Amino acid sequence: MKPLVVVTRNIPRISLDLLKPHFKIDYYERDRAIPRKDLLKRVKNADGVLCLLTEKIDAEFFDAAPKCRIVATFSVGLDHVDLPEATRRGVLVTHTPGVLTETCADFTFALLLSSARRIVEGDRMMRADKYPGWDPLMLLGTDVFGKTIGVIGFGRIGQAVARRAVGFGMKTLYADVQPVFPEIERSLNARRVEMDELFRDSDFVCVHTVLDASTKHLVNEARLKSMKRSAYLINAARGPIVDEKALVKALKQGWIRGAALDVYEREPKTEPGLTKLPNVVLAPHLASASLETREGMGNLAAASLVEFLILGGPPKNLANKDVIPKGRSATLSVGA
């Protein structure tokens, strides 16, 4: 009998087609997150689950899915997954790094440029038929080229953002627990600094770190106050890294000039007052949303399920590399 895989939301057709020959599929084919109760009921007999970042994969989930041996999340972020709990229960967790790096970096730059150069405000003016004709003082933004960008979290996406910054003649300051190799720093015109220096000296502060207990509200009132009044905050990582209440205050009171956000503290809700502010660009969590990349993510997630449940080997992009799979006595041997 074919193993049962639960797919918790609409995914690209091409990725679903990769699963079809191998699995019995329970497909929640909707464009909304699956209700929790429904999810817990459906996973009862599942051997594997392809989920999204909207599903909490926690102890309650694992209790409801006693046969589940692998969870493949259609996301690079893992903050919705209790990884230690998965490992303890012998459940493999895979995610989708790599395929979305350049797409997310493009989007970060799109946010940066549209906030600095006031593109969204201009678009609103045109659509409202309020363009009075060329005016030397209308919608003045701020230059991007030659400025300093501060990158919090200098992993794949952070470095891809810095590569783009090189093209704009920008200097990069970065904060990360690990320094990168000196030759990478040189090629990216990047320098590792303490977090406080990054906030103080950057013209654009871009958030690219993971969300965990140590990064929740990393961008708080004190740090926003320490930024240049001419600076911008860009967040396309995870909402709770920024204290959204403090950000609304900062934007209202002019502690910083502007912000651009793709993610929110209580997604899909936003902090009261945020959507009324003219000096913030707001996107609905779109950083990886190109057709090619979403297909790439879906295919990676689907491939992990096939690699493990059908071929019995280690799946690519295993997040809990020390897991001992249910029913086996040793970890899978996976390459780094």
Residue 217 annotated in active site: no
CB closer to ligand GLV out of 51 and 53: 53
User: What are the structure tokens assigned to 12, written together?
Assistant: 């690209």
CB neighbour list of residue 35: distance below 8 Å, 6 or more residues apart: none
Cα torsion through 154, 156, 158, 160, rounded to 10:
140
Q: How far is CA 289 from CA 52, 115, 151, in A?
A: 14, 19, 22
Catalytic residue among 156, 164, 192, 285: 285
**Shortest distance in whole angstroms from residue 100 CB to ligand GLV:** 6
Catalytic residue status for 267:
yes
Name the minimum Å distance from CB 261 to ligand GLV: 13
- Residue 123 contacts residue 117 (beta carbons within 8 Å): no
Largest CA distance in the chain: 73
CA distances from 76 to 37, 171, 181, 237, 277 (A): 25, 27, 24, 10, 30
CB of 240 to ligand GLV, least distance (A): 13
| 238 part of the active site | yes
Residue closer to ligand GLV (CB basis): 52 or 151: 52
Q: CB atoms < 10 A from the CB of 282, how many?
A: 15
152 C-beta neighbours (distance < 10 Å), count: 24
Could you say which of 60, 185, 197, 267 is catalytic? 267
Task: List b or e across 317-331, with b for residues whose CB sees 16 or more CB atoms inside 10 angstroms.
Answer: bbbbeebebeeeeee
| Shortest distance in whole angstroms from residue 210 CB to ligand GLV | 9
Return the number of the residue (75 or 320) whose C-beta is nearest ligand GLV. Answer: 75
Shorter beta-carbon distance to ligand GLV: residue 252 or 266: 266
* 231 vs 242 by CB, closer to ligand GLV: 242
Name the residues that contact ligand GLV, by CB under 6 A.
53, 75-77, 100, 288
- Report the nearest approach of ligand GLV to the CB of residue 254 (Å): 30
Nearer to ligand GLV (CB atom), residue 64 or residue 83: 83
Backbone angles phi, psi at 254, to 5 degrees: 75, 25
The residue whose Cβ lies closest to ligand GLV is 77
Which of these is catalytic: 238, 257, 265, 294? Answer: 238
Q: What is the DSSP string of 143-198?
A: --TT-EEEEES-SHHHHHHHHHHHHTT-EEEEE-SSPPPHHHHHHTTEEE--HHHH
Q: Which two tokens stand for residue 236?
A: 């396309």
Least spacing, CB of residue 287 vs ligand GLV, in Å: 6
Residues recognised as catalytic = 238, 267, 285
